[in-house]
Amino acid sequence: MNTLFVIVNIAILLFIIWGLFTMQKKHVSFSKRVFTALGLGIVFGFALQFIYGAGSDIITTTADWFAIVGSGYVKFLQMIVMPLVFISIVAAFTRLKLTNNIGKISGLIISILVGTTAIAAAVGITTAIGFNLEAVQIEQGDAEVARGQALEENMSGLEGKTMPQQILELLPANPFLDFTGARPTSTIAIVIFAAFIGLAYLGVKRKKPEEAEMFAKIVDTFYAIVMRVVTLILRLTPYGVLAIMTKTVATSDFNAIVSLGKFVVASYVALAVMFIIHLLLLTVVGLNPLTYVKKALPVLTFAFTSRTSAGTLPLNINAQTKQMGVPEGIANFAGSFGLSIGQNGCAGIYPAMLAVMIAPTVGIDPLSPSFIASLIAIVAISSFGVAGVGGGATFAALLVLSAMNLPVALAGLLISVEPLIDMGRTAVNVSGSMTAGVVTSKVTNELDTETYNDRSIEAEAVEA
């Protein structure tokens, strides 16, 4: 009987997918299809949980089958991340789009990412204090205790790593290994490797222009192929969003979410404030923030649904270049650096809120100016090269709590609502990297403002 119910659930999902495909055939806009998929996924997920219950075998088996569509789509996106980063940055050199001010561009991007993370820490501190959040307010069940013990074990492997050692981890000792994404810092390593290739091309171009011209044509050919692969994958976005959202809602523990509602609300208030700060940055440099919201929303929706910054990178770069007028090189630098440096949600807001919540348990006053100043500084420094690790928010929290001499085991208190909070964190992370790309382009006069201001340009590359 259970098998029959699973088959019915799969049939319903396939029927909804067929409906989304019909919308595509009728040339309904990409954004509308993504939001339709999001809404249908939420409704379908609630229906499944209401009928079967979140922990039922039927839900578990159904979720496994739905993962073929949802997780499969994310894997396709992750598949193209490294080739996209590498070829786009090399192409930026061969097309002479970054060479005049590459130092200024990379410096600006990193400054914006780390600077906004420091601001995010301040926002997280203010929110935690404003909502009077304390770790003692949370009851520790078996899951929370087990999570805390696991975090303490993980921390034992992280201790003793100095900042210079962490910086060395960014360098590409074996770029072929990094192309596999084997290391947490593989993406940044590929960015550095691609920059070396680009600089080498410029040297060859001065001395042997014919060979350089041939190399540039090869790069252009590979770039065209990779971008076509990206386009083919992005067309699957509505179906991926549908499956991921359905699975997330159907398997969520709503009783835990209700009991920890205060912490969930506080987290989303902080994330919303940080998103508004991104919009203020765009306003300061003379750009319309509402235009940004319209063009970034499908990307942020996928980031929210999938909870993967790396998987969102192709969508991120596509939106920056095709819809916002950011040059390919700057978009790739911002998107790639944003995976491992200064993620505002995971490495900024989250560890700061945790530190404020946990501080009173060891007799530390979270309102102390010295505590607040130290926390903001440590969050900003720890965010460099940390957040790209799988489970980046937890990793960043462990480093911050350890540096502040706070008990790391208490970081497991929010495990039951972690997926829900992580959705918003990921969206803010991606927004931060996109904002860094757009602001940097505007400051360096590289931004195509006509493309940015043209609201009729919507997911052009996806529809092509």
> 112 pLDDT exceeds 90?
yes
What does the pLDDT look like over 256-279, one tens digit per residue? 666 677 888 899 999 999 999 999
Is residue 408 within 8 A of residue 151, CB to CB? The reply is: yes
Q: For residues 319 and 85, give the distance between their C-alpha atoms in angstroms, rounded to a whole number.
A: 15
Question: Tokens 């593989």 map to which residue?
Answer: 186
> 282 pLDDT exceeds 80?
yes
Average pLDDT, the chain: 81
pTM for the model stands at: 0.78
Among residues 222, 425, 452, the alpha carbon closest in space to that of 322 is found at 452
pLDDT at site 212: 87
pLDDT at site 410: 63
Q: Which residue has the higher pLDDT, 400 or 238?
A: 238
What does the pLDDT look like over 114-141, one tens digit per residue? 999 999 999 999 998 888 877 665 555 4
pLDDT at site 389: 43
Evaluated on CA atoms 431, 314, 97, 455, the torsion sign reads negative
Identify the weakest region by mean pLDDT among 4-18, 138-152, 376-390: 138-152
Q: Which of 148-162, 176-190, 265-279, 448-462 has the highest mean pLDDT?
A: 265-279
Give me the amino acid identity at 41. G
All structural domains of the chain: 2-463 (1.10.3860.10)
Q: b/e string for 180-219 if b means 16 or more Cβ within 10 A?
A: ebebbbbbbbbbbbbbebbeebeeebeeeeeebeebbeeb
Q: For residues 383 and 117, give the distance between their C-alpha atoms in angstroms, rounded to a whole number.
A: 8
Q: What tokens were used for 153?
A: 């074990």
CA distances from 301 to 242, 256, 331, 434 (A): 11, 24, 19, 14
What does the pLDDT look like over 382-420, one tens digit per residue? 776 554 444 566 777 777 877 787 776 666 666 667 777
Q: What tokens were used for 145?
A: 């205790």
Among residues 234, 227, 241, 317, the alpha carbon closest in space to that of 71 is found at 241
**DSSP state letter for 137:** G
Evaluated on CA atoms 322, 459, 229, 422, the torsion sign reads positive
CA distances from 46 to 17, 59, 247, 251, 253 (A): 18, 11, 10, 9, 11
pLDDT at site 274: 95
Residue 129 CB partners (closer than 8 Å, separation 6+): 356, 366, 367
Among residues 70, 91, 97, 38, the alpha carbon closest in space to that of 299 is found at 38
What does the pLDDT look like over 343-373, one tens digit per residue? 898 888 988 988 888 888 878 888 888 889 9
Q: For residues 125 and 354, give the distance between their C-alpha atoms in angstroms, rounded to a whole number.
A: 9
Among residues 51, 17, 34, 6, the alpha carbon closest in space to that of 297 is found at 34
> 288 pLDDT exceeds 80?
yes
Ordered DSSP codes for 48-92: HHHHH-TT-HHHHHHHHHHHHHHHHHHHHHHHHHHHHHHHHHHHH
Q: Which residue has the higher pLDDT, 403 or 11?
A: 11
